Amino acid sequence: MEITITSNYEEMSKVSAQIIAEEIQRKHDLVLGLATGDTPIGTYQELVKIHKEEGLDFSKVKSFNLDEYLGLAPLHKNSYNYFMWENLFKHININPENVYIPQGNIKDPEQFCAWYEAQIKEAGGIDLQVLGIGRDGHIAFNEPGSSFASRTRIKALYKQTIEDNARFFDKMEDVPRFAITIGIGTIMEAKKILLIANGKNKAAVCAQFIEGPVTSQITATALQLHSYVNIVLDKDAASKLERTEYYDWVRDNKHSVQKEIGR
């Protein structure tokens, strides 16, 4: 894992957006896995800026979102479909036919989950998966105890997740208790992974999943087993890490190391 510690949320957003932009420039038909929530909003705003000011082309990009609340229609104001169009898709030149988001109001969710997995496979797999992290260490909606071999499925949400997401709804009773989510096994098959996190409320769990033992009780720890993971944190989210000096040294000397290897 490569850890980049930034000074604030704005810098975190710019660094993560640049990583995504470079992958799209490298491969125009990139298969991009996307996340929702507060954390990636700044990253998406930066991508829109790069698209408008530098011509970043999304026309051949294919996107797959991580999850969706079960029971919410795509146009519901709290659906992740609505979130993605409002915060990213309607501001860039992505082809709507290349946008895949789990549908929360379908009649047969299990059949849909199998179809969604098949679409990812048909696309050639995810090239770059963008992730956030919950305060209990979940990635996507893979709550504590989720199998590292899990695929796209219906998942009951943990109490803390429901409480954390209540701020987006009018009242607690409106928060869905279930979601469709890509599984840990699906995430781990992505060629590259980018996880972003900010804020002091994420500091403890970031220290746990980066420097602690691998455990299904903190599903983000599975990322320790992946061969290519970029983690971009603001200084608050990184405040409980014990090896920040080493991470900063690697960041500052990365190009020197690459030059040495290339000799």
pLDDT score recorded for residue 255: 72
CATH number at residue 15: 3.40.50.1360
Say if CB 87 and CB 41 are below 8 A apart.
yes
Question: Which tops the pLDDT comparison, 29 or 247?
Answer: 29
C-alpha of 156 from chain center: 19
Q: Is 76 a catalytic residue?
A: no
Q: Given 46, 68, 127, 143, which residue is catalytic? A: 143
Dump pLDDT digits (tens) for 135-187. 999 999 999 999 999 999 999 998 889 998 888 898 898 899 999 999 999 99
Q: Give the Cα separation of 181 and 113 in Å (integer).
A: 8
Q: Which pLDDT value is given to residue 258?
A: 61
Q: Would residue 38 show up in a list of annotated catalytic residues for this protein?
A: no
Point out the catalytic residue in the list 46, 68, 127, 138.
138
Query: Which are the contacts of 173, defined by CB distance < 8 A and separation ≥ 6?
Result: none
Picking from 72, 120, 65, the residue whose alpha carbon sits closest to that of residue 94 is 65
Percentage of the residues of the chain whose pLDDT score is greater than 70: 97
In the chain, the amino acid numbered 226 is H
Which domain covers residue 248, as residue numbers? 2-261
pLDDT of residue 186: 98
Q: What tens digit of pLDDT does each residue of 180-218 get?
A: 999 999 999 999 999 999 999 999 999 999 999 999 999
Catalytic residue among 127, 136, 234, 236: 136
CA geometry: angle at 55 spanning 89 and 189, to 5°? 55
- Of residues 161, 175, 163, the one with CA closest to residue 70: 175
Q: What is the pLDDT of residue 167?
A: 87
Which of 49-53, 225-229, 257-261 has the lowest average pLDDT?
A: 257-261
Q: Catalytic residue at 67?
A: yes
Q: Is 117 a catalytic residue?
A: no
Active site residue: 67, 68, 127, 236, which one?
67
158 DSSP 8-state letter = P
**Per-residue model confidence as pLDDT tens digits over 60-93:** 999 999 999 999 999 999 999 999 999 999 999 9
Domain count, the chain: 1
